[in-house]
Chains A and B, each alone.
Chain A
Amino acid sequence: MRELQAAAITDAVSRLAKEACYFLPKDVVDKFDSALESEESETGRDILRQLRENVSIADAEEVPLCQDTGFTVVFMEIGQDVHVTGGDLNEAVNEGVKRGYEEGYLRKSMVTQPFGERKNTGDNTPAIIHSSIVPGEQVKITLLPKGGGAENMSALAMLKPSQGRQGVVDFVLNTISNAGPNACPPLIIGVGVGGSFDKVTYLAKKAILRDVGSRNPEPHLAELEDELERRANDLGIGPMGMGGRTTVMDVFVEEYPTHIAALPVGVNIQCHSARHKEVVL
């Protein structure tokens, strides 16, 4: 049994919040560069160039890539042989969010009473925390600042099993089409298929964390990812919706067994400000 101080988790989360909001992952930056080569629209290339410049400025000045520093989504994979001491684990995460957002000059966007008062909590807490217990004696923390614009265009459908693969393809493409410029393309699309109402959106959210250019090891899913990527780009939406060949940077599909009566599909849309950062403690 390994002991881990709650304070170490707070420190890690605070650092992850700042770094995630300032520095875009390399796979995403590389994709901007390759899209600049392949994009046919002049306005599209101009926008991609400015996004690339934005990455350099945020990096050099250590300022947020985007002013919307999001809901703070935190995934924790907690080794079953770890014992957290010196405080409540979830409180430690929220304390890290609070500190990181304050020290890092990140925008606080969380409000209470969603259809009522909508009062800002002032420190971007509470975080959206997903924990799972895994073998081992380490804790892996992944922090995903998720902007509102793209999250608002995400969608869930409980399809009929008879709608099959075609139903999945249509729903994903329609969701991307509806999102258009609102979600800040070029996008990363996380698709969950199967499981239950809650599981499928969790799968979709986890999928957006994958590296751009990666493929699901299951051949039938890799093939679906290729098709969805190609057809999404054929929609012509382009960078910031001004028209172009780069609508998505990638599409990732994850599946899970489901009920005999069900075919759930979740589509989580990630904007080009595809920020996330992880650490293993």
Chain B
Amino acid sequence: MSEKRITTPLTEEAIADLHSGDRVLISGKILTGRDAAHKRLVELVEKGEPLPVALGGQIIYFVGPSPAKPGQVIGSAGPTTSGRMDSYSPVLLELGLKGMIGKGYRNQEVRDALIKHKAVYFGAIGGAAALIARRISSAKVIAYEDLGAEAIRELEVEDFPAVVVNDIYGGDAYQEGRAKFERKEATGT
């Protein structure tokens, strides 16, 4: 099994070709955001006000990097737990967001929204933050600078490693992967 190379913005065709469990290498521009930025974006949507970033075809990476050392583009930058964004993600998917990168389970509502709006959830390797930082060639804050590590940044990435967790067909790499390697007597009685 080799990796699929994909570039942003994500096209409908590229998305249709992604299946849960696929290993991918992502290149191009991606956005970052975590709890605080999501909260602000969704508040603007609710008020009917314009967003400071265009989401169509984009991928949001859930990350709050460590501070960059002098000479570094960005500090260590691994994914944070995605579940905290579950209450916000369906709103952004409705606006045309096509991908999210994080780690951990998404709730049913998000998984349904992915199918409905034809978008994908990727799992990155939590804790592989120094390695991921090397795949980021530029980073600039484009909104909410006051949020510090939580500001929205635009990153240029090259061969960013991830796995497709939830695809547009209802596949779930966590469930499928686990079922494949589970030995039954393990579950408590």
Contact = CB atoms under 8 A, between A and B. Distances in A.
Interface residues of B, number: 51
B105 A182 contact: yes
A181 B129 contact: no
Interface stretch (A61-69, A86-94, A249-257): A61-69
Contact of B130 (A47, A65, A232, A236): A65
Interface string A92-131: 0000000000000111000000000000100000000000
A42 B189 CA distance: 30
Interface string B77-117: 11011010000000000000000000111000000000000
A245 to B, nearest CB: 6
Contacts of B69: 63, 105
B170 interface: no
A177 B175 CA distance: 12
Contacts of A58: 76, 130
B33 interface: no
Interface in B115-164: 123, 125-131, 133-134, 148-149, 161, 163
Interface in B12-41: 21, 23
B177 A166 contact: no
A105 B75 contact: yes
Nearest to B185: A234
Contact of A67 (B78, B104, B177, B181): B78
Contact of B66 (A40, A105, A184): A105
Contacts of B63: 67
Contact of B131 (A54, A235, A244): A54
Contacts, number: 173
Interface in A202-254: 231-232, 234-238, 240-245
Given A47-B125, A67-B66, A170 B104 contact: no
B181 A245 contact: yes
A241 B66 CA distance: 24
A63 B130 contact: yes
B129 A67 contact: yes
B180 A271 contact: no
Given A58-B130, A273-B127, A67 B65 contact: yes
B105 A180 contact: yes
Nearest to B131: A54
**9 tightest CB-CB pairs across the interface, nearest first?**
A243-B177, A236-B182, A234-B186, A170-B188, A236-B181, A182-B104, A184-B126, A234-B183, A107-B66
Interface of A: 40-43, 46-47, 50-51, 53-54, 57-58, 61, 63-69, 105-107, 120, 147-149, 152, 166, 169-171, 173-174, 177, 180-182, 184, 231-232, 234-238, 240-245, 271-273
Interface of B: 1, 21, 23, 63-69, 72, 75-78, 80-81, 83, 103-105, 123, 125-131, 133-134, 148-149, 161, 163, 173-174, 176-189
